[in-house]
A and B are shown apart, each in its own frame.
Chain A
Amino acid sequence: MKINVEIVKKALKHNKVKLEDLNEKELVKKMMIRRRLSRSSRILINLAHECEFTKGVMVYGSAFGELIDTVNILESINNNLAVSPTAFQNSVYNTAASYHSIVHGNQSEILTLSCGDETSYNVMQQATLSLLKNKEVFACVVEAMNFDGVEPLNKCKNELEYGVAFTLKKSDEKATVEVNDKEQLGVPSSLSWMKNLYDICSDEEKCIVEIEL
């Protein structure tokens, strides 16, 4: 089953090492929440702000989840140190999407997918399914991999912080773009499909893509 989807808003953030311009103080007023945010949460909250998304259905994706907090826990266990409760609370894959819901009081459905290299296309499929019942859906994929010891695992030399997001709505019009599933240097494979879509959608013309459920 194929559905056409219009990109209403789009946002992209990436850095080889660490994103510095995430504007957390402005976007997350409560200091106690801001202090506890994971890296992925900070990136997602910024992307959502750029897409003007605060409330509604969100489909979030990440192939690797909260790597920094996960490594923190593993290092504690391996070195016979106490595990940080905050690191554990922040280690689940839906952490970033949940913090966004807490910041904005969003009580709608939030789903988190983790589908390896296919994560971003699956996020688009899941978001499209949600569009059959909802007017707009926010779709976002983030990878935050900047932890001590990542080098030997980063064989593809991906940038360590990367996020892409769209606000989507269902369209009855013809598709205007077709996404090429090519890999891009430095872009984690998990979000390459959405990154490619981001690249071909101009700000001037309607961007409508066909998604097979």
Chain B
Amino acid sequence: MCGNTKQTMDAIFSKTTSLKSFEDIVPEKVVCVGKFPTSLSFEELLYESANEILESSTLDNFSNTLLLVGSSVGGMATSEKVLFRENSYENIDIKKHTIDSIALALDNKFNFLCTRSFSTACTSSANALKTAKELINIGAYENILVVGADEICLTTIFGFSALGILSDEVCTPFQNDRKGMNVAEGIGVLLIQNKSQKNSIELIGAGTSSDAFHIANPDPTAAGAISAITNALEDASLTPSKINYINAHGTGTNANDSTEAKAVKDIFGDEIHISSSKSNIGHTLGAAGAIEAIICVEALNKGLLPPQIRCDDNERDLNFVSEAKELKMDYALSNSFAFGGNNTSLIFGVYNED
């Protein structure tokens, strides 16, 4: 993200971006991407993020906490460095390459009860959050730390570039003249517990679906997205009118945004407050579900709608939040959609003692 939670939310509420254009990553192309503005390594940032949560929690340590990680590429950036330096796979450390390299690093540092890693591309950490909710609800665990983490790497930048969907400037989700997406790195950490604390926000609904349509393009009828959102509403026992704000997946690509806009309009109509945070922090891939969950939690806690950097010429005339605006909110929904037609929607609500 653009720093810690406070710095990131300040950036979102003030409509600033951490994304920058580079001419020297992809040959003969300008790409706009999001990199951490720090000299700390990705591993150090992971430790710092988990430690920040631990220190602000009621826990002394994570020995009675399940760790669920969502990541799209795991340790790919580390492997790339070795391969491109040595032109050989021989010295790639498999334990630092795989998706669960993130869980292994955190487990070595904090000694969790046990760990599990999800990799469903851009829904990875949203699916980890859904599992956390289910495990807490049945009483299998008291504390679950959900970490969404993806380090930027050339494989994803060149890959999205090959698909022709990378923007050379800061993305403009849902705008009719949108040029594509911005790949970014990010870490999002949430502690899910079976007991409420002061200012607790509840994860009250989670829904999933599969498009069964195409390996990379969403189903343009939006049937999969509609199904995930509807399943989340059903899980939360809420009608669409109860949702106050949607943090959209909103990547800035033509295909994603038109599908999501259709799903939102079909279910919620055109009055629902909606914004995408991708123009502030980019698309953090497997980390996006966790980071955007944090944005929903912060919005609910502060009673402040997160705005979108540009929203003057919108797809389907949805009600985009143009400036940070105070609003008493009870429920916020976060969408995550991924390659393979993997869809996950999460609903967060202000804790109600009743």
B115 at interface by CB-CB < 8 Å? yes
- A188 → chain B closest CB, angstroms: 11
B159 at interface by CB-CB < 8 Å? yes
Please tell me if the beta carbons of B117 and A109 are within 8 angstroms of each other in the complex. no
Return chain B residues, CB-CB under 8 Å to A102: 212-215, 341
Return chain A residues, CB-CB under 8 Å to B342: 94, 98, 110
Closest residue on chain A to residue B121 by CB atoms: A92
Closest residue on chain A to residue B93 by CB atoms: A153
- B151 → chain A closest CB, angstroms: 15
Closest residue on chain B to residue A38 by CB atoms: B215
Flag the segment in B42-50, B95-103, B255-263 that touches A: B95-103
Closest residue on chain A to residue B72 by CB atoms: A92
A1 at interface by CB-CB < 8 Å? yes
Closest residue on chain A to residue B123 by CB atoms: A94
Q: In chain A, residues 126-177, which have Cβ atoms closer than 8 Å to a Cβ of chain B?
A: 126, 129, 132, 149-150, 152-153
Q: Give the residue of A76, A77, A83, A111 whose beta carbon is less than 8 angstroms from that of B120.
A: A111
Please, how many angstroms separate the alpha-carbon atoms of A92 and B158 in the complex?
14
Instruction: Please judge, given known A-B contacts A92-B339, A93-B120, A114-B74, whether A152 and B90 are in contact too, CB under 8 Å.
Output: yes
B104 at interface by CB-CB < 8 Å? yes
Is chain B's interface secondary structure helix, strand, loop, or mixed overall? mixed
Interface string of A94-112 (1 = CB under 8 A from B): 1101110110111111111
Interface string of B117-143 (1 = CB under 8 A from A): 111110000010001001100111000
Flag the segment in A6-14, A15-23, A63-71, A194-202 that touches B: A63-71
Please tell me if the beta carbons of A153 and B94 are within 8 angstroms of each other in the complex. yes
Tally of chain B residues near chain A (CB < 8 A): 58
Instruction: Please judge, given known A-B contacts A88-B159, A114-B100, whether A78 and B84 are in contact too, CB under 8 Å.
Output: yes
B224 at interface by CB-CB < 8 Å? yes
- A65 → chain B closest CB, angstroms: 7
Closest residue on chain A to residue B27 by CB atoms: A80
Please, how many angstroms separate the alpha-carbon atoms of A96 and B118 in the complex?
15
Q: Give the residue of A65, A90, A107, A125 whose beta carbon is less than 8 angstroms from that of B212.
A: A107
Return chain B residues, CB-CB under 8 Å to A84: 162
Please, how many angstroms separate the alpha-carbon atoms of A98 and B211 in the complex?
9
Please tell me if the beta carbons of A74 and B155 are within 8 angstroms of each other in the complex. yes
Please tell me if the beta carbons of A83 and B119 are within 8 angstroms of each other in the complex. no
Please, how many angstroms separate the alpha-carbon atoms of A83 and B156 in the complex?
11
Please, how many angstroms separate the alpha-carbon atoms of A1 and B66 in the complex?
13
Return chain B residues, CB-CB under 8 Å to A180: none
Please tell me if the beta carbons of B99 and A114 are within 8 angstroms of each other in the complex. yes
Please, how many angstroms separate the alpha-carbon atoms of A132 and B117 in the complex?
20
Instruction: Please judge, given known A-B contacts A106-B212, A107-B211, A125-B116, whether A74 and B80 are in contact too, CB under 8 Å.
Output: yes
Please tell me if the beta carbons of A95 and B215 are within 8 angstroms of each other in the complex. yes
Return chain A residues, CB-CB under 8 Å to B138: 1, 129, 132, 213
Return chain B residues, CB-CB under 8 Å to A126: 116, 131
Interface string of B206-224 (1 = CB under 8 A from A): 0011111111100000011
Tally of chain A residues near chain B (CB < 8 A): 54
Please tell me if the beta carbons of B119 and A213 are within 8 angstroms of each other in the complex. no
Return chain A residues, CB-CB under 8 Å to B76: 70
Please tell me if the beta carbons of B118 and A112 are within 8 angstroms of each other in the complex. yes
Please tell me if the beta carbons of A85 and B162 are within 8 angstroms of each other in the complex. yes
Return chain A residues, CB-CB under 8 Å to B99: 63, 65, 93, 114-115
B160 at interface by CB-CB < 8 Å? yes
Instruction: Please judge, given known A-B contacts A80-B27, A82-B162, A116-B100, whether A90 and B215 are in contact too, CB under 8 Å.
Output: yes
Please tell me if the beta carbons of A122 and B116 are within 8 angstroms of each other in the complex. yes
Q: Give the residue of B84, B95, B118, B224 whose beta carbon is less than 8 angstroms from that of A113.
A: B118
Please tell me if the beta carbons of A113 and B116 are within 8 angstroms of each other in the complex. yes
Please, how many angstroms separate the alpha-carbon atoms of A111 and B131 in the complex?
10
Please, how many angstroms separate the alpha-carbon atoms of A177 and B306 in the complex?
53
Please tell me if the beta carbons of B210 and A108 are within 8 angstroms of each other in the complex. yes
Instruction: Please judge, given known A-B contacts A77-B154, A98-B210, A104-B212, whether A116 and B118 are in contact too, CB under 8 Å.
Output: no
Return chain B residues, CB-CB under 8 Å to A74: 80, 83, 155
Closest residue on chain A to residue B80 by CB atoms: A74
A36 at interface by CB-CB < 8 Å? yes
Return chain A residues, CB-CB under 8 Å to B103: 115
Please, how many angstroms separate the alpha-carbon atoms of A76 and B89 in the complex?
14
Please tell me if the beta carbons of B98 and A153 are within 8 angstroms of each other in the complex. no
Please, how many angstroms separate the alpha-carbon atoms of A180 and B334 in the complex?
42
Q: Give the residue of B89, B119, B159, B163 whose beta carbon is less than 8 angstroms from that of A112.
A: B119
Closest residue on chain B to residue A1 by CB atoms: B140
Please tell me if the beta carbons of B208 and A109 are within 8 angstroms of each other in the complex. yes
Q: In chain A, residues 21-74, which have Cβ atoms closer than 8 Å to a Cβ of chain B?
A: 36, 63-65, 70, 73-74
Closest residue on chain A to residue B139 by CB atoms: A1
- A142 → chain B closest CB, angstroms: 13
Please tell me if the beta carbons of A107 and B120 are within 8 angstroms of each other in the complex. no
Instruction: Please judge, given known A-B contacts A76-B158, A80-B27, A88-B159, whether A63 and B339 are in contact too, CB under 8 Å.
Output: no
15 contacts between A and B (CB under 8 A): A73-B159, A74-B83, A85-B159, A91-B159, A93-B72, A94-B339, A98-B340, A102-B214, A102-B341, A108-B210, A109-B210, A114-B74, A115-B100, A149-B88, A152-B88
9 A-B pairs with least C-beta separation: A98-B340, A88-B159, A114-B99, A93-B119, A83-B162, A109-B208, A116-B100, A92-B121, A152-B90
